Amino acid sequence: MRIAIGQMNPVVADFNINIKKVIYFVEEAIKEECDLIIFPELTLCGYIPEDLILQGDFSKRTEQSLKIIESLSRDIAIVCGYAKKNYGKGKPFFNTVGFFSDGMLRVEYRKRLLPNYDVFNEKRYFEEGDKPRVIEANGVRFGITVCEDGWNTEFSPAYGLYSIDPVEETVQSGCDILLNIAASPFYYKKVFLRETMFSNIAKKYSIPLIFVNQAGGIDGIVFDGDSCVFDRDGRIIKKAKRFEEDFVVWDVNNEKGKIFPVKSDDNELIFNALVTGLKDFIEKIGAKRVHLGLSGGIDSALVSVIARYALGSENVCGIMLPSPYSSRSSIEDSLLLADNLGIKVERIDISHYFEVLKNELPVSIGDLKDITEQNLQARLRGMILMAYSNNNNSILLNTGNKSELAVGYATIYGDMCGAIAVIGDVYKTKVYSLARWINKKYGKLIPESILVKSPSAELKPGQTDQDTLPPYDVLDGILERYIEKGMSIEEIIGDTGFEKETVKKVLNMVQRSEFKRKQAPPVIKVTSKAFVTGFRFPISSNFQGVKNEDA
């Protein structure tokens, strides 16, 4: 028996495009004389359509697509996912996988474990399934699980979150091969974790396992693909590409194949995820050109490189916006970076506009504070960059990093402007790590002078980030433990040895800055907890666990 994997990059709720992709993969599978082709979770609508699923014609479009799948199954058996209307009690839909053969829908399986954390909100839309399902094709019995169904085993970090283990129940139902049909969102530590988990499941039950994942990006959520076939010893013998569509064939009767080690390079994973997330975001909203503020600093340099590899240098414009406090080296570094990348560069000096505001505003609002003057510059830049968007049909990229977004070291309606925060889930220390990896991998694209200079917003003479913030290795050490690991002040201090006042100060900055994050652009997610989707609390909270009584 020959089995094909159709690793798709769907467009959410675009049934026409998605069914065309299905048809293409089915035709390829038939050419390869495959008996069965398997597609990801919610193949027909893409993961996840959110409230679009509640629109009147969504179910109608799904049913139309299912008729096409039935027709295609006359020549090959098909397993694919879709949202099926629930006509009984409970939530309006089931997250469903259908098995089609001989022109008919033969079996439906309903996802049993519905995640409701981080980026997930499935219980808003789906009713849980109630039993395992095993399908048979060419005499081979396949046990079906859908994404989260596979994450309540003893090998999963989510073990114990649910009261049932669909993997155990499915294997006990009797199957020769276990399937996990998924739309599994990416974060860089998850790739190794997931491959190890499925390897251990295959090894425990001594049964081959096929993991089929969605690829591509949707609104900052990236799906890394990386569909795999694990043999009964837990070894990866077939593997699809990461972050892009791919087609893989496995001959069941020839179980042996190339053994892929379970390993990953964090910088490479993060860079490719950011490129994928940006590329798909821009393409799927129907845009082509992008621009960003080019400051001469490390953040805008990294975003420029990502944009160049995502969209091509011809579609990227860096805009320099020098003020009276911009250093000559920042301008020179920006020009050198743009030249290295082959991107267009524009210069719009804000000094004149800044002087006008400094002279005119005090008449109406009183003498300007230091922070007011700094924010005026940032907001002037944001206004000009947005004007460029309107005038040139170009999408503004936000260049702020996760460290800044965490502690509010960013000006709302200023440098927080943009359609998407490209590195908004990348800590400052990781920004430097990625930049050095890029220079090693692709040549010295980012000038060394950018890498070695002290980070500065350059909004007043002699300013550096460390005037206000702890050193970034300290800051990021605190932030990662608090945001991603949920540690308390005492736990962070015990784990790091950092000064108590420093930890309390940082966590108070995080809490006070939530109002900014609520208004931030979508973030491309690369860690286990990204702002906007995975880390949220009330703006007006007064949580004593992080309150600094001495502040």
Q: Are β-strands 290-293 and 316-320 bridged in parallel, bridged antiparallel, or unpaired?
A: parallel
Q: Please, what sign has the CA dihedral across residues 348, 352, 355, 356?
A: negative
Within 8 A by CB and 6+ apart from 88, the residues are none
The candidate with the shortest Cα–Cα distance to 502, out of 472, 530, 529, is 472
d(CA 65, CA 174): 31
Catalytic: 147? Answer: yes
Within 8 A by CB and 6+ apart from 9, the residues are 21, 214, 215, 216, 223, 244, 245, 280
CB 83 within 8 A of CB 53: yes
**Tokens 């000009």 -> residue:** 384
Among 21, 84, 111, 430, which one carries the catalytic annotation? Answer: 111
d(CA 85, CA 37): 24
The candidate with the shortest Cα–Cα distance to 7, out of 45, 27, 37, 31, is 37
Phi (first) and psi of residue 31, to 5 degrees: -60, -35
Q: Please, what sign has the CA dihedral across residues 154, 158, 162, 166?
A: negative
CB 376 within 8 A of CB 357: yes
Give me 162's structure tokens: 């649910």
d(CA 319, CA 300): 10
Among 34, 80, 147, 317, which one carries the catalytic annotation? Answer: 147
CB 11 within 8 A of CB 284: yes
Catalytic: 288? Answer: no
Q: Are β-strands 140-146 and 134-137 bridged in parallel, bridged antiparallel, or unpaired?
A: antiparallel
d(CA 337, CA 196): 40
The candidate with the shortest Cα–Cα distance to 75, out of 107, 46, 41, 37, is 37
d(CA 376, CA 30): 62
Among 21, 34, 41, 148, which one carries the catalytic annotation? Answer: 41
d(CA 165, CA 145): 10
Catalytic: 67? Answer: no
Q: Are β-strands 140-146 and 177-182 bridged in parallel, bridged antiparallel, or unpaired?
A: parallel
Residue 95: count of CB within 10 angstroms of its CB: 31
Burial class (CB in 10 A: 0-12, 13-18, 19+), 547: middle
Give me 419's structure tokens: 């359609």
Residues with catalytic function: 41, 111, 147
